Amino acid sequence: MQSVLCVFILLCLFQNSLASRISMISNGLKGCRLGAAMKPPLIIVVVVAVLTATRLKSATAAASSRDIVKTYSDPSVQLFNHLVIDKNTGRVYIGAVNKLYQLSPDLDLVATEKTGPELDADECSVLECTSTVNKQLTNNVNKALVIDYTTSRLISCGSLFQGICSVRNLHNISDGVVQVREAVVANNATASTVAFIAPGPPNPPVTQVMYVGVTFTLGSPYRSEVPAVSSRSLEKDRMFAIAQTAVTTGTRMFVNSLARERYPITYVYGFASEGFSYFLTTQMRHTTSSQFISKLVRVCHDDENYYSYTEIPIDCISEAQGGRKYNLVQAAYVGKAGSDLASDLGITAQDDVLFAVFSESDPANSNKPSNLSALCVYSLKAIRRKFMQNIKYCFSGNGQRGLDFISPSLTCVSTVSQPVKFECYLPPNNLPSAPASGRSNNSNQKLHTCTSFSVSYLEA
């Protein structure tokens, strides 16, 4: 229940443009992923109270009963995994283990769909399973729940059958269900998946695609075919196919076969802003065993080959706590700044701002969060500037391309004539199949009182 509240509090935060009043919150915002800490019976709480920064601490500890206007619970399921609200109708959709729910804006149950358990095995391909395979009754854990507003459809993806998705009518999730046999999301209960819809090939911003980030899972011969990051078509006859493909390129990115088993990437959040799609991840600093850090991954919307695939590390450092570094991003939200925060960050109230909750590794060098957390705020303008600096640096012949877990890192080569929108092109003179990267050596750049943001092109 607490984790549901977190989500609402983040929303309230940005609506109130708290700016300088946001300071370190050292307790209580842990594990904001929806459903992470829920125990039966499951309860969704709608918080209508307008929270202020000073009340945040107590509000996270417990929502007082007067803040709760309506609840919905289902004691028969183990976990609610995802929740989306239709911005036009206010309808609420919930993806759970073995169930999907459609609720009215007042949280009255309209429809329930059973999605599992079903007989499945890692050795089964997305299309077939021979009778010799020992299949087990397996839970279907909801891994992605997305509204496609262009066609008024609900896309839900589950862990069964190599992680396939179905498409449903927004008016009635039991109506016109189409299941597409394409491996899209993670195929077990815990491996991460992030999915969102934004402009993409073939004709952005007119055409929309589904951006998907997926953790590689072991144990199945078919997972090597599922990209770590991809843009998937939403066209009716090509549903969930990779939006654009060529022999070695296309709108997909794989972690290479040497690295993927020992270099786990956790996808935490995804969003689009001003011509780019971004993922927030946690991953190791090096491909050899090392500390986990948080990174922003970015691709250009009009890049049909992911040449623009770039990563930069993102830090959340508490100066008040003597430079304490909160290294693991746990949850995030992109919204508009509002006037107070905007003036603090030197942007306009209409500019995008990234709110992200971080935790520290516990134990050190693990990907497990401690019970301490912090909220950091970044303007997308500053993020874009940092990506641009890095890419420009490489186009000028400095540093390494980095990202050796994707393809061997190459030295950046200077180009005299830089393309106009160079962020969307492959850095100079490199193999066309290799992506651009962001690796760095720059010192921390301060963006906000509670925020540091460090990136560089070279491996520090």
Ligand X SMILES: *[C@@H]1O[C@H](CO)[C@@H](O)[C@H](O)[C@H]1NC(C)=O
Instruction: Pick one of 106, 175, 225, 274: the residue that binds ligand X (CB under 6 A).
Output: 175
Cis, peptide link before residue 205, omega less than 30° from 0: yes
62 belongs to the binding site for ligand X (CB under 6 A) = no
Minimum CB separation of residue 207 from ligand X in Å reads 30
Phi–psi pair at 457, nearest 5 degrees:
-90, -35
Two tokens, residue 205? 């911003």
- Of 159 and 233, which CB lies nearer to ligand X in the complex structure? 159
- Of 268 and 424, which CB lies nearer to ligand X in the complex structure? 268
- Of 53 and 110, which CB lies nearer to ligand X in the complex structure? 110
Minimum CB separation of residue 343 from ligand X in Å reads 32
217 belongs to the binding site for ligand X (CB under 6 A) = yes
Find the binding residues for ligand X in span 335-394 (CB under 6 A): 371
For residues 172 and 417, what is the distance between their CA atoms, to the nearest angstrom? Answer: 54
Instruction: Pick one of 37, 107, 189, 413: the residue that binds ligand X (CB under 6 A).
Output: 189
- Of 61 and 85, which CB lies nearer to ligand X in the complex structure? 61
Q: Which one-letter DSSP state was computed for residue 350?
A: T
Q: How many residues does the chain have?
A: 460
Q: Give me the DSSP letters along 8-33.
A: HHHHHHHHTT-GGG-----SS----S
For residues 51 and 53, what is the distance between their CA atoms, to the nearest angstrom? Answer: 7
Instruction: Pick one of 69, 218, 388, 431: the residue that binds ligand X (CB under 6 A).
Output: 218
Two tokens, residue 201? 């090939």
For residues 442 and 350, what is the distance between their CA atoms, to the nearest angstrom? Answer: 29
Instruction: Pick one of 125, 151, 188, 418: the residue that binds ligand X (CB under 6 A).
Output: 188
242 belongs to the binding site for ligand X (CB under 6 A) = no
Cis, peptide link before residue 41, omega less than 30° from 0: yes
Find the binding residues for ligand X in span 92-111 (CB under 6 A): 110-111
34: closest CA among 62, 6, 74? Answer: 6
190 belongs to the binding site for ligand X (CB under 6 A) = yes
Type of residue at 289: S
For residues 293 and 287, what is the distance between their CA atoms, to the nearest angstrom? Answer: 12
Two tokens, residue 242? 């990779």
Minimum CB separation of residue 438 from ligand X in Å reads 15
Two tokens, residue 118? 């079903």
Proportion of the chain in helix, strand, coil states, percent, rounded to 5: 15, 35, 50
For residues 383 and 355, what is the distance between their CA atoms, to the nearest angstrom? Answer: 12
Stretch that binds ligand X, among 6-14, 15-23, 182-190, 387-395 (CB under 6 A): 182-190
- Of 158 and 204, which CB lies nearer to ligand X in the complex structure? 158
Number of residues engaging ligand X in binding (CB under 6 A)? 14
89 belongs to the binding site for ligand X (CB under 6 A) = no
Instruction: Pick one of 10, 25, 45, 191: the residue that binds ligand X (CB under 6 A).
Output: 191
Find the binding residues for ligand X in span 135-174 (CB under 6 A): 172, 174
Distance of CA 353 to the CA centre of its chain: 15
- Of 336 and 392, which CB lies nearer to ligand X in the complex structure? 392
- Of 37 and 110, which CB lies nearer to ligand X in the complex structure? 110
37 belongs to the binding site for ligand X (CB under 6 A) = no
- Of 77 and 243, which CB lies nearer to ligand X in the complex structure? 77
For residues 101 and 110, what is the distance between their CA atoms, to the nearest angstrom? Answer: 8
Find the binding residues for ligand X in span 409-448 (CB under 6 A): 441
Binding site for ligand X (CB under 6 A): 110-111, 172, 174-175, 188-191, 217-218, 371, 441, 458
